[in-house]
A = this chain, B = another copy of it.
């Protein structure tokens, strides 16, 4: 169960019935992550989330029975790290928790892509300056713009599971992540498949661009970035 998973990692669950409780815990102990239900009696979970985020830098995952899109949007706008609709798959929740914690542990939010660098991973080379990708054998591989962008996002966040939404957001820096994001669910899947077909030796059993069932995708290789 969840509690056991927490214990296994040396963590414990602290139930909180009110915002005051949360603040007390924040002040007292070391809080890794907050699970916040949007529908809290008379209080408004969104506002609480916004307030907490404005003051503290704690990862927050929001839970709500309302899976309406605007609600979801509100959750993100308010600064939550993730959003899950009730009823949710507990397994999925765990995966999300792990992802959020891993990210929080490493640094802060999603890392950005950088320029004028050369990345090396598993024998491959990606020259960000000239947008050149070379295989371990030295062959140059042509990637489309979108595929390149995806690769950049992955290289900037190695070993960290990324949800499709996160990837989509990172790719569309300019585009507004409207509910279209939810509608265009499989776009990322297809994009991932296309990138795989170009940089995986065996696209059927990917070694680099692995899928995390119920979550998203991970770049499963160490990345070395060198200044050019």
Contacts and interface: CB of A to CB of B under 8 A. Distances in A.
Interface of A: 1-5, 7-8, 12-13, 73, 76-77, 90-91, 94-95, 98, 109-110, 130, 145, 165-166, 169-170, 172-175, 177, 207, 213
A2 B8 CA distance: 28
A121 to B, nearest CB: 14
Copies of the protein in its oligomer: 2
For the complex of A and B, the 3 pairs showing the least CB-CB separation, nearest first, are: A90-B174, A4-B169, A94-B172
Given A145-B213, A172-B95, A110 B8 contact: yes
A197 to B, nearest CB: 20
Given A7-B77, A8-B109, 10 more contacts: A1-B175, A2-B174, A3-B77, A4-B76, A4-B169, A7-B109, A8-B110, A8-B170, A90-B174, A130-B207
Contact of A77 (B12, B94, B110, B165): B12
Of A2, A4, A77, A94, the most chain B CB neighbours within 10 A belong to: A4
Contacts of A173: 91
B73 A3 contact: yes
A13 B77 CA distance: 8
16 contacts: A1-B165, A1-B174, A1-B177, A3-B73, A3-B76, A3-B77, A4-B165, A4-B169, A4-B175, A7-B77, A8-B109, A13-B73, A90-B174, A91-B172, A94-B174, A98-B172
